[in-house]
Structure 1
């Protein structure tokens, strides 16, 4: 059987348990699994991630610093096959006259994609093989290393520290508010980084499972890409193509869960009615509408849902859904070029916001606020926003996660700091147990 199953062939029903497949995948140098957490997350417009597992690399694309020309050359290469991987935030530099000169703690490449040897999918209680020979997978996985045995902890993490103090954070928020008052921008997503410099993830997937149990999300994912690991509990979809339809679902607006059902409903209502949160969300909706119009058919941009409130285990989020019809010739890279980076992680106007992000943030974002996802042989795709995500460079034994919030003129520095800590809580709690 060939590595790439013909798209017209019915998927092969496998007599393997999903958990056994996940266990067997860990010894391969490249693997990526998406976790929709169907029973733990709210019903999402256009669904969640598919439950996919990609293992092994027939072909890889690894570009340290990508250019527009390199992306253009990849169009035909990405067609007609499964591809999985990560696009870094700093790919923005290939699309606009921008740069990324801040400290690069993790030294991650701009682009890391792989064409897998095997693709499996869980549908309910059944498992299907979509690409490759499953018997060959088991034969090869038996020769690979699996998870460490015994009682070895999944991680040993050194001191976790923030690159920005609360005092410096609040001072920077005031400076950004001054930029807004001067008419430079309307809104900017300002992020900070938490680091550990002596981190040893003995079993990264076990650590991901703990994170996923504490903070289940519809666009969660675990990836091993050579020496690089991604442990993502992302609530946000960047973009999805299904047939001729392209949709984007930016999140702007966050509130913690209440302690009682009555308090929880009050919090939910306050988030929905908050003028500040609605204004932030509306700015990004307008930005996304403009981005989608650059790649879609004229006059087909539609706001399908505005200010939707979705409840997760630890917080409520305000989510809007915007869609557009695509011309037949539009490729994944065409859609990426028109819309990346996502407006929810930049600000408005987008280019000036990205310039000020580089000025006011102290760290290079790297894969944070980039995207993780997959492309199908038919040309459909689904990509998340890499937030609420732990990144690990095994070669350097360095670990990092970043959090941020949208700064508008009405922003309270103290409240924005509290929102950052709320978003960081699940990741910090999971790692703190192994400091």
Structure 2
């Protein structure tokens, strides 16, 4: 009941700000238990800073810091063992084979140490979407949740399928992989269904194109993306909160069908997480500037815990998945795209 009331309060505030065209930032955790919305004029930049930079918008609430004489970045990983991952993977796979889910996003925590602080990492990393909450976490996400233009066109860009760009013919390999194609198509169908719940008309603008993402060691990852669009109508700002919450949690980091898949995730991730909740990892954050809205899925995520830093990462599991390959993908996503 308390969770529902908090969500309703945030939805109503977002609708109110949308109607009055008051710029705001919003954040919603994966479990949708601690959502927040803050007018941009009331945002405390000593506690929370963000940047959103792509062809759609360019926002940030801080001045760049020039760090001098920085030592080269070092990140030491202490991942969960393959044996532990296989137990969680096995639970997911058993449900997939029973038909309880078609695609399940399984994630894990990796303990890390770094010679840079979270704030330094935030300022030095380059990503489409960045968020830093002091003493809590940083996020440097390449993945858009939804973008809404002033005319009411809504666009989503699900990312599914990752490969090291250094592999010979990497692009051809990832696009030809049947498991990856099935996984990606499943997510595109899910996003189409999600957008259909809020939009009048929905279509796939682009299907399975390649994004290139740089890691701190200079190497690149190739990620497969699609673009799914819809039309909301001119009065979308008055119901912007309802629109966002109706689409949560993001399909690309949950799975299909959503309700049962969320149950599977909760059970399986008890083995890969010290806590039973993802928290803001794989939640969403975004900015409404009074005219349009841009938002991100909070992946590529480092959290400050009482025991140190943890890097949270994962990937989509289908009935065709192989545990060792999924484990390798999980570890390959532990990187910081520094400048």
- Name the TM-score class by shorter chain: 0.7 to 0.9
Q: Is the 8 A contact 1:191 1:361 kept in 2?
A: yes
Task: Identify the residue that residue 30 of structure 1 maps to in structure 2.
Answer: none
Matches of 2:130 and 2:42, distance apart in 1: 19
Alpha carbons of structure 1 residues 161 and 85: separation in structure 2 relative to 1, 3 Å: farther
SS in 1 for 2:14: coil
- Normalising by structure 2, we get a TM-score of 0.80
Q: Is the 8 A contact 2:155 2:228 kept in 1?
A: yes
Task: Identify the residue that residue 90 of structure 1 maps to in structure 2.
Answer: 31
Alpha carbons of structure 1 residues 117 and 176: separation in structure 2 relative to 1, 3 Å: closer
- Normalising by structure 1, we get a TM-score of 0.63
Matches of 2:4 and 2:66, distance apart in 1: 34
> What are structure 1's unaligned runs of at least 5 residues?
1-62, 94-108, 132-136, 431-435
Matches of 1:403 and 1:175, distance apart in 2: 18
Matches of 2:333 and 2:317, distance apart in 1: 15
Matches of 2:74 and 2:174, distance apart in 1: 38
Residue 118 of structure 2 corresponds to residue 204 of structure 1: yes
Question: How big is each residue's C-alpha offset from its partner over 1:30-76, in whole Å with a ceiling of 9 and x where there is no partner?
Answer: xxxxxxxxxxxxxxxxxxxxxxxxxxxxxxxxx99963332343234
Instruction: Note the 1:315-326 alignment, pairs <5 A.
Output: 315-326=221-232
Task: Identify the residue that residue 179 of structure 2 maps to in structure 1.
Answer: 276
Counterpart of 1:240 (choices 147, 150, 164) is 147
Counterpart of 2:93 (choices 146, 164, 177) is 177
- 1:399 offset after TM fit, Å? 2.9
Matches of 2:102 and 2:294, distance apart in 1: 29
Task: Identify the residue that residue 319 of structure 2 maps to in structure 1.
Answer: 409
SS in 1 for 2:31: helix
Alpha carbons of structure 1 residues 155 and 372: separation in structure 2 relative to 1, 3 Å: farther
Matches of 1:90 and 1:257, distance apart in 2: 33
- 1:175 offset after TM fit, Å? 2.4
Q: Is the 8 A contact 1:280 1:406 kept in 2?
A: yes
Deviates more, 1:407-416 or 1:382-391: 382-391
Matches of 2:90 and 2:223, distance apart in 1: 25
- 1:130 offset after TM fit, Å? 11
- 1:173 offset after TM fit, Å? 1.2
Residue 132 of structure 2 corresponds to residue 223 of structure 1: yes
Task: Identify the residue that residue 293 of structure 2 maps to in structure 1.
Answer: 381
Alpha carbons of structure 1 residues 402 and 286: separation in structure 2 relative to 1, 3 Å: same
Q: Number of paired residues?
A: 314
Matches of 1:258 and 1:154, distance apart in 2: 22
Bigger relative contact order, structure 1 or 2, given CA contacts below 8 A and separation 6+?
A: 2
Task: Identify the residue that residue 75 of structure 1 maps to in structure 2.
Answer: 14
Residue 278 of structure 2 corresponds to residue 369 of structure 1: no
Q: Is the 8 A contact 2:13 2:37 kept in 1?
A: no
SS in 1 for 2:110: strand
Counterpart of 1:303 (choices 189, 204, 211) is 204
Task: Identify the residue that residue 134 of structure 1 maps to in structure 2.
Answer: none
- 1:147 offset after TM fit, Å? 7.4
